């Protein structure tokens, strides 16, 4: 397990602090420190590389038993790199070149660096990364080279309202990507509804309006950033063969820090980027950016990134250490309880450690005095001591080698659908909110759930998924339609919402509504919006229809027992409804007030496909209606894993109305059996009872008492099967 902190971002901290701070890290129980290798600080003059400060820090780390992660920062470009490269400055759709300067997080300036779509600029960046890697190739305590700090279209965090990058080199790269995708200009014309004569006539869309070209422009940039990451990885491998190469995203762009997305705007697609490296990770600033329910949001980000990592090691490469930057002098300071919850969230999701951003308060600039894990004078405080306790508690070889047990319940993530929401109205928040709403429904019911992504739709049956909720999947490909149908026919439960497959993969309306007919056994009649984009209720059609058993759900005060009978409120929904006509064999489960179907169920092969004729998950995200959460959670299998039968609360916590935050249980597999990680997101103590299915572990059940804002890992002996 990796535990430690980001430490050096030149020129801070000053040399006078280094020995004291490294010694304290070791005393806390840390084993790793991360250091920035900034291009303009190391190579201020072309060809003259000065590693003296980093070398001294690596030596100090070694003497204190600390491994080192070197994070290369070519985004701090030296002034000399501009000579002959003015055309590699990032450019907005309006033609503005973004001059290099000092952002909040880079004191030595040079940001945002050079657009790597210019081959000569890419060669300079790769040359710097190769030189750094080569310099530390034989340093045993340099455990990894991080080749890209929070990969995204670099200027976007400061230019969120703009479209980038429109330099000549990015335009040329876009044309090449389109030629590879479509093959012929005729095929592109058909997809874009154009009459272009050659590839040279193509320009990226300068504004919002036509969806198909903007969708390709967004998808191009996600693929292009993965290509640029590949160049960086190759350079590091050339410089230091055999060294671990990593990168870490700023957050799950699918969800966004505030659960409002960011995938198609900032373009840091975790599912594309994770494929390129040995080790993956994420940054999280929960108390600064993730709202009052930050324990829940932070867990969700970890679980999306765990899924993107696909079995590779991942960890929390940056975790908020101090007050954040909500204002001039910083925001809320994390408590010891916050630190504990965030650490155990990462461990529960299968992560292999935590590095804090950052160890010492920043002395100057827009991030001062935020983020420091320690006090101004370098002394310890409640959060640094809590960080040390977590490091000691979680540093266990069994946990380090443990592998995620994949839940049988899943939520589907669609890159194209989120991008389409952006292309239509810059409303990624609708898609991200839908995914988050489905996840929150499972979370509130304390049901383990995972995410599955469109890139891996063909593997869902083989990976043991039994129930799949598909929120707001506006755009589906032929491949996805066939894979989802195979999943149901093999015995799975598929739940899709109103706009499932409304558009094909190019962003054009599927006038045949194939997803409705082929998956759900209903015919499209009309797409209807609620007044003022509001909400509507649905009621059960059949007394026989039930979602989850009542004792599996933390029913809130005033909520209704799911499946209580005909005429009882089933769920609420948001914005739109899809008016459909059920075909023979498709049963209405619930109806709107005017009698039209609100949910239907169709047996298909060995499974069933449920159609929800509106956006229930979005409603739950926006309003948190208890009946809607119970309705969604009712399609999930309560234990969540083949090994678990149930997860229940005992005592006063079970009797009280369900608060926004819940205890969480996740299962990992070890060489000897299992590791069960439990995290209490609440401030009050809880007791959790876990029941096991026969044949997996020696215990029939396990009762865990958790103090408020705490976590634990229990190791269980497995039964050989």
Express each pLDDT in 171-185 by its tens digit: 999 999 999 999 999
Mean of the pLDDT values across residues 130-137? 98
The token pair at 536 is 């509507």
Give the Cα separation of 680 and 686 in Å (integer).
7
Give the Cα separation of 180 and 610 in Å (integer).
37
Pairing of the two strands 587-592 and 597-604: antiparallel
Give the Cα separation of 629 and 627 in Å (integer).
5
What are the chain's domains? Answer: 2-159+225-395 (3.20.20.80), 409-633 (3.40.50.880), 644-717 (no CATH)
Express each pLDDT in 329-347 by its tens digit: 888 999 999 999 999 999 9
Q: Output the CA angle 118-122-126, nearest 5 degrees.
A: 175
Express each pLDDT in 627-643 by its tens digit: 999 999 999 999 999 99
Q: Is residue 377 pLDDT above 80, yes or no?
A: yes
Enter the pTM of the model. 0.96
Residue 561, Cβ density class (10 Å: 0-12 exposed, 13-18 middle, ≥19 buried)? middle
The token pair at 469 is 């909720």
Express each pLDDT in 465-501 by its tens digit: 999 999 999 999 999 999 999 999 999 999 999 999 9
Pairing of the two strands 353-357 and 403-404: unpaired
The token pair at 407 is 């839940």
| pLDDT attached to residue 620 | 98
| pLDDT attached to residue 190 | 96
Please state the separation of Cα 377 from the chain's center in Å. 35
Task: Give which of 387, 382, 256 is closest to 316, Cα–Cα.
Answer: 387
Q: Give the burial string for 450-474 (b: 16+ CB within 10 Å, else e).
A: bbbbbeebeebbeeebbbbbbbbbb
| pLDDT attached to residue 263 | 98
| pLDDT attached to residue 122 | 98
Task: Give which of 573, 575, 563 is closest to 593, Cα–Cα.
Answer: 573
Question: DSSP characters for 241-278?
Answer: TT-EEEEEESS-TTT-TTSS--HHHH---HHHHGGGSS
Q: Is residue 552 pLDDT above 70, yes or no?
A: no
Q: Place 104 in a pLDDT band, splitting at 50, 70 and 90.
A: confident
Express each pLDDT in 670-690 by its tens digit: 999 999 999 999 999 999 999
- Angle at which helix 336-348 crosses helix 382-394, to 10 degrees, equals 30
Residue 35's contacts (CB-CB under 8 Å, 6 or more residues apart) are 6, 7, 8, 54, 57, 58, 68, 69, 70, 71
Give the Cα separation of 482 and 470 in Å (integer).
15
| pLDDT attached to residue 548 | 38
Q: Is residue 152 pLDDT above 60, yes or no?
A: yes
Task: Give which of 495, 496, 512, 492 is closest to 504, Cα–Cα.
Answer: 512
* Secondary structure class of 224 (helix, strand, coil): helix
Per-residue H/E/C for 335-381 = CHHHHHHHHHHHHHCCCCEEEEECCCCCCCCCCCCCCCCCCCCCCCC
Q: What is the DSSP code (8-state) at residue 376?
A: T
Mean of the pLDDT values across residues 121-142? 98
Element containing residue 484 per DSSP (H, E): helix 478-489
With beta carbons less than 8 A apart as the criterion, state whether 110 and 77 touch: yes
Give the Cα separation of 40 and 75 in Å (integer).
9
Please state the separation of Cα 219 from the chain's center in Å. 17
* Secondary structure class of 550 (helix, strand, coil): helix
Q: Is residue 564 pLDDT above 70, yes or no?
A: no
Q: Place 545 in a pLDDT band, splitting at 50, 70 and 90.
A: low
Give the Cα separation of 102 and 365 in Å (integer).
9
């Amino acid at each position: 397990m990796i535990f430690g902190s980001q430490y050096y971002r030149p020129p801070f901290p000053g040399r006078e602090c280094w020995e004291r701070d490294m010694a304290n890290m070791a005393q806390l129980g840390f084993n790793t420190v991360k250091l920035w290798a900034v291009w303009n600080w190391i190579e201020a003059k072309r060809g003259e590389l000065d590693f003296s400060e980093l070398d001294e820090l690596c030596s100090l780390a070694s003497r204190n038993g600390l491994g080192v992660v070197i994070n290369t920062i070519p985004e701090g470009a030296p002034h000399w790199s501009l000579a002959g490269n003015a055309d590699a400055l990032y450019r907005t759709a309006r033609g503005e070149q973004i001059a290099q300067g000092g952002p909040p997080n880079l004191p030595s300036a040079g940001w945002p660096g050079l657009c790597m779509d210019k081959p000569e600029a890419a060669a300079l960046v790769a040359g710097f990364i190769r030189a750094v890697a080569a310099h530390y190739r034989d340093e045993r305590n340099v455990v990894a080279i991080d080749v890209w700090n929070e990969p995204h279209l670099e200027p976007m965090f400061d230019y969120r309202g703009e479209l980038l990058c429109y330099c000549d080199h990015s335009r040329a790269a876009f044309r090449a990507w389109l030629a590879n995708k479509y093959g012929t200009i005729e095929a592109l014309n058909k997809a874009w509804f154009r009459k272009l004569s050659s590839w040279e006539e193509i320009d990226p869309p300068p504004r919002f309006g036509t969806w198909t070209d903007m969708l390709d422009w967004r998808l191009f940039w996600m693929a292009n950033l993965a290509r640029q990451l590949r160049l960086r990885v190759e350079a590091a491998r050339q410089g230091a063969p055999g060294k671990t190469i990593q990168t870490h995203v700023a957050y799950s762009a699918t969800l966004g820090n505030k659960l409002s997305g960011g995938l198609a705007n900032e373009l840091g697609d975790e599912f594309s980027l994770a494929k390129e490296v040995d080790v993956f990770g994420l940054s999280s600033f929960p108390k600064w950016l993730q709202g009052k329910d930050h324990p829940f949001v932070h867990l969700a980000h970890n679980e999306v990134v765990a899924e993107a990592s696909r079995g590779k090691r991942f960890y929390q490469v940056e975790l908020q250490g101090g007050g954040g930057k909500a204002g001039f002098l910083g925001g809320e300071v994390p408590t010891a309880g916050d630190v504990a919850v965030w650490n155990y969230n990462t461990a529960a999701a299968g992560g292999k450690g935590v590095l804090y951003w950052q160890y010492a308060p920043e002395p100057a600039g827009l991030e001062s005095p935020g983020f420091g894990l320690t006090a101004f004078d370098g002394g310890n405080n409640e959060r640094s001591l809590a960080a040390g306790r977590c490091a000691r508690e979680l540093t266990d070889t069994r946990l380090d080698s443990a592998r995620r047990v994949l839940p049988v319940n899943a939520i589907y993530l669609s890159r194209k659908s989120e991008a389409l929401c952006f292309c239509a109205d810059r409303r990624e928040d609708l898609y991200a909110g839908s995914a988050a709403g489905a996840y929150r429904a499972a979370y509130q019911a304390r049901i383990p759930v995972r995410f599955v992504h469109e890139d891996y739709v063909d593997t869902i049956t083989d990976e043991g998924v039994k129930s799949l909720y598909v929120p707001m999947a506006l755009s589906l490909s032929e491949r996805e339609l066939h894979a989802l149908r195979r999943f149901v026919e093999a015995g799975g439960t598929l739940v899709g919402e109103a706009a499932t497959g409304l558009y094909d993969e190019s962003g054009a309306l599927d006038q045949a509504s194939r997803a409705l007919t082929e998956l759900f056994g209903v015919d499209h009649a009309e797409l209807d919006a609620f007044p003022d984009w509001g909400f509507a209720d649905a009621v059960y059609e059949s007394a026989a229809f039930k979602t989850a058993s009542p004792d599996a759900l933390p029913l809130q005060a005033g909520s209704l027992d799911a499946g209580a009978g005909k005429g009882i409120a089933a769920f609420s929904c948001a914005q739109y409804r899809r008016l459909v006509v059920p075909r023979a064999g498709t049963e209405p489960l619930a109806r709107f007030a005017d009698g039209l179907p609100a949910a239907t169920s169709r047996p298909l092969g060995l499974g069933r496909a449920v159609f929800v004729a509106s956006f229930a998950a979005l409603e739950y995200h926006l309003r948190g209606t208890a009946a809607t959460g119970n309705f969604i959670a009712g399609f999930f299998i309560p234990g969540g894993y083949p090994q678990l039968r149930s997860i229940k609360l005992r005592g006063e916590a079970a009797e009280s109305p369900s608060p926004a935050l819940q205890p969480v249980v996740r299962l990992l597999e070890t060489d000897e059996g299992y590791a069960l990680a439990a995290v209490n997101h609440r401030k009050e103590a809880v007791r959790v009872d876990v029941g096991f299915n026969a044949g997996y572990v020696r215990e029939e059940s396990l009762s865990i008492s958790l103090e408020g804002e705490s976590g634990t890992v229990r190791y269980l002996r497995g039964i050989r099967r």
